[in-house]
């Protein structure tokens, strides 16, 4: 689904990941066949079964295919079906969404490093690169940018304390009073909200702000490139936007809603809006505990006073994505599934607890 949506211009996290994956496939010279449904995928597989190394599907479709012993997955009843070990779930989150378990779930982030023990996983890290998107937006020298801070909130409700917002209006106003910064954002209403809701939702906006409303991707990237710091508010989680910001020379304030009270500087215990950026430090990422007004104001001031150049983590270079993709495609998954079957006869790769939500579908 996300590959198709990406081709149609979608710019959500999953679509950005899908676009990067397609780009890596092209760069590696792979022949890629696209199918809009499982039956179409089975039909294509029947034509050239020995040439198909992997089949990438939605997470729920991996369970759906495995349950179809007659028409989809390879079985005694269906010997020409797609072997389950060739099927991979394309899944943005760290849960074990595949009948064979985590190793057959492609992930956008290295969740094995996830600080939160409830979310750590061994999903196979493919990752993505934002270099191509970043290159489409001209880099603006920090000295040429206005004193604007971009608030990462596409929906106005993300700024509501009742919705779990990391900062309240008084936090923003305190930062503006000390630094002279103006907060910019491109936020609007969700599909289930009416225009009559706007007044109440806008009460959470800082006094010094500019709201451009919902924008197309190119305009959004251009606006972010004109700011000096990106401010997270708690949602959306593990978004690609902070990586885009770093590439554009915009540091990120990453709000934390979990930490070790006895050792608040222990990054391995951090849980926040972007858990995988909690390992990064100033001047690129400022991890600030939710509700810490002084910490927030200090982070805004520090980001303004310490501009950065364009920065892309090495693991998010396209060359790194290509290397991981090639390793995935060339790996002997049949042998790995056979080895796993020798000690594992439970669903989802013998995980406890096992994610069984889709096995009945």
238 has a pLDDT exceeding 70? yes
Predicted pLDDT of residue 122: 87
- Residue 50's H or E segment, with its range, is none
d(CA 77, CA 99): 19
- Beta bridge mates, 184: 150, 210
**Greater pLDDT, 355 or 270:** 270
- Chain-centroid distance, C-alpha 231: 17
**Greater pLDDT, 29 or 358:** 29
Q: How far is CA 241 from CA 13, 18, 25, 29, in A?
A: 8, 15, 23, 28
d(CA 54, CA 33): 11
pLDDT tens, 207-226? 999 999 988 889 999 999 99
Average pLDDT over all residues of the chain: 91
Model pTM above 0.75: yes
C-beta separation of 201 from 157 below 8 A: yes
d(CA 335, CA 245): 41
pLDDT tens, 162-214? 888 999 999 999 999 999 999 999 999 888 888 888 888 888 899 999 999 98
């Amino acid at each position: 689904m996300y590959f198709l949506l990406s081709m149609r211009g979608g710019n959500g996290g999953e679509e950005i990941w899908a676009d990067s994956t397609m780009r890596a496939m092209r760069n590696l010279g792979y022949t890629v066949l696209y199918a809009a449904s499982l039956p179409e995928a089975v039909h294509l597989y029947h034509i050239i079964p020995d040439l198909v190394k992997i089949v990438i599907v939605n997470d729920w479709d991996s369970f759906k295919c495995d349950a179809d012993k007659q028409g989809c997955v390879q079985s005694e009843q269906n010997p020409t079906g797609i072997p389950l070990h060739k099927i991979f779930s394309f899944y943005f989150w760290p849960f074990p969404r595949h009948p064979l378990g985590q190793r057959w779930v492609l992930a956008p982030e290295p969740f094995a490093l996830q600080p939160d023990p409830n979310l750590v996983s061994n999903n196979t890290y493919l990752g993505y690169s934002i270099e191509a998107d970043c290159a489409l937006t001209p880099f603006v020298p920090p000295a040429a940018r206005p004193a604007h801070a971009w608030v990462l909130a596409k929906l106005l409700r993300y700024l509501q304390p009742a919705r779990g917002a990391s900062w309240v209006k008084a936090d923003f106003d305190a930062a503006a009073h000390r630094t002279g910064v103006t907060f910019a954002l491109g936020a609007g209403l969700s599909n289930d909200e009416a225009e009559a809701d706007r007044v109440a939702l806008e009460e959470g906006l800082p006094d010094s702000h500019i709201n451009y409303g919902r924008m197309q991707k190119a305009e959004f990237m251009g606006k972010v490139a004109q700011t000096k710091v990106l401010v997270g508010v708690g949602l959306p989680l593990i978004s690609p936007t902070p990586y885009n910001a770093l590439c554009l020379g915009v540091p990120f304030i990453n709000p934390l809603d979990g930490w070790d009270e006895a050792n608040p500087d222990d990054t391995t215990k951090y849980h926040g809006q972007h858990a995988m950026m909690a390992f990064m430090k100033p001047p690129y990422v400022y991890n600030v505990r939710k509700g810490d007004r002084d910490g927030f104001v200090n982070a805004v001031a520090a980001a303004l006073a310490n501009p950065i150049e364009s920065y892309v983590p090495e693991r998010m270079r396209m060359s790194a994505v290509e290397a991981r993709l090639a390793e995935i495609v060339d790996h002997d998954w049949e042998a790995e599934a056979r080895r796993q079957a020798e000690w594992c006869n439970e669903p989802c790769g013998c995980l406890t607890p096992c994610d069984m939500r889709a096995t009945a579908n």
